[in-house]
């Protein structure tokens, strides 16, 4: 498929752009930029990225059939990034629910879905490409593709192949296939986590994810619970 690609060097946020322009956008239009003055992360956090070093992009989904997938779109986005990176030779890739992409245990990409259902969803992805130092306090510092493969990667070249790949992946992959890819890269499965549940923190072991993209956990008291990513803003794990 021919992905429709727009480049705006600097703007507040590619997600915000599509949220404002979704009504005039074609389905699966991509936008990337070199710098965001108000990059948005999950749970109201900022997404900071030095100018020109990383790939910051969003695409808009308007097709009703896709919109019906709801939270599963998140699963598709993570599975598309993971399989693309694997084709490029990257290894040890995992996905931490709901959709942080890790390489060798360090975050390399973050995904933020926003939108106004049933009209559109914006899928925003920040992929660390050439950034070599990460300021700020991290329990485990993030990584980038260039830190792993020890060479700089031209962003324009990446865009040319990655965007059509994502477009094709969404159109050619079934829910079952996307789920299988996700499960094969599930970072949290089998790990013990702590999360706030009706107030106090609860401890549980992650069993996996459900078909509709909830995290399935078994508490230490033997209770099986499904968690949605919207409710679950804090998960701690070892
Ligand atoms: C996360 O918190 O892990 C999600 C980060 C998503 C960042 C990307 S960068 C491109 C797009 N535009 C934004 O403002 N955010 C997303």
Q: Which atom of ligand 1 is nearest to the CA of 42?
A: 2
3-state secondary structure of 126: strand
Residue 4 backbone zone (phi > 0: left; psi -120 to 50: alpha; other: beta): beta
Q: What's the CA gap between 51 and 229, in Å, rounded?
A: 30
Q: What is the dihedral of CA 5, 9, 11, 17, to 10 degrees?
A: -10
**pLDDT of 36-65, one tens digit each?**
999 999 989 999 999 999 999 999 999 999
- CA Rg, the chain, in Å? 17
Helices 72-87, 175-184: crossing angle, 10 deg rounding: 60
Residue range 213-217: mean pLDDT, rounded: 94
3-state secondary structure of 5: strand
So what's the pLDDT on residue 113? 95
Residue with CA nearest ligand 1 atom 3: 110
**pLDDT of 66-113, one tens digit each?**
999 998 999 999 999 999 999 999 999 999 999 999 999 999 999 999
So what's the pLDDT on residue 232? 63
Q: Which atom of ligand 1 is nearest to the CA of 107?
A: 3
DSSP 40: B
So what's the pLDDT on residue 184? 97
How many CB atoms are closer than 10 A to CB 159? 17
DSSP 64: H
Q: By C-alpha distance, which of 84, 97, 57 is closest to 217? A: 97
Residue 46, beta-bridge partner list:
40
pLDDT band, very low/low/confident/very high, at 230 (cuts 50, 70, 90): low
Are 180 and 76 in contact by the 8 Å Cβ rule? The answer is no
pLDDT band, very low/low/confident/very high, at 136 (cuts 50, 70, 90): confident
Are 186 and 94 in contact by the 8 Å Cβ rule? The answer is yes
Q: What's the CA gap between 102 and 93, in Å, rounded?
A: 6
> Which residue from 31, 40, 111 has its CB within 8 A of the most atoms of ligand 1, so it is best to mutate?
40
Q: What's the CA gap between 58 and 126, in Å, rounded?
A: 9
Residue range 10-16: mean pLDDT, rounded: 98
Residue with CA nearest ligand 1 atom 2: 41
- CA 112 / ligand 1 centre spacing (Å): 5
So what's the pLDDT on residue 112? 96
Query: For ligand 1, which residues put their CB under 6 angstroms from it?
Result: 13-15, 36, 39-42, 45, 47, 56-58, 100, 110-112, 124-126
Q: What's the CA gap between 49 and 55, in Å, rounded?
A: 9
So what's the pLDDT on residue 3? 65
pLDDT band, very low/low/confident/very high, at 1 (cuts 50, 70, 90): low
The number of helices, as runs of H, and strands, as runs of E, in the chain is 6, 14
């Amino acid at each position: 498929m021919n992905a429709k690609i727009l480049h705006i060097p600097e703007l507040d946020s590619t997600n915000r752009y599509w949220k404002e322009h979704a009504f005039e956008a074609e389905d699966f239009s991509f936008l990337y930029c070199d710098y965001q003055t108000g990059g948005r992360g999950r749970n109201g956090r900022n997404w900071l990225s030095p100018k020109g070093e990383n790939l910051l992009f969003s695409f808009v989904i308007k097709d009703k059939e896709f919109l019906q997938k709801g939270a599963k779109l998140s699963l598709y986005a993570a599975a598309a990034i993971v399989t693309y990176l694997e084709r490029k030779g990257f290894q040890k890739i995992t996905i931490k629910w709901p959709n942080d992409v890790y390489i060798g245990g360090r975050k390399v990409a973050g995904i933020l879905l926003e939108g106004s259902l049933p009209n559109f969803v914006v899928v925003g992805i920040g992929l660390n490409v050439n950034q070599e130092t990460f300021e700020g306090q991290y329990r485990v510092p993030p990584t980038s593709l260039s830190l792993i493969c020890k060479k700089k990667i031209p962003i324009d070249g990446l865009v040319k192949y990655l965007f059509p790949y994502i477009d094709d992946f969404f159109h050619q992959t079934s829910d079952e296939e996307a789920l299988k890819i996700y499960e094969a890269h599930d970072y949290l499965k089998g790990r013990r986590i702590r999360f706030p549940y009706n107030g106090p923190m609860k401890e549980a072991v992650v069993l996996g994810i459900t078909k509709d993209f909830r995290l399935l956990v078994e508490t230490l008291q033997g209770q099986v619970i499904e968690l949605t990513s919207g409710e679950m803003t804090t998960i701690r794990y070892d």
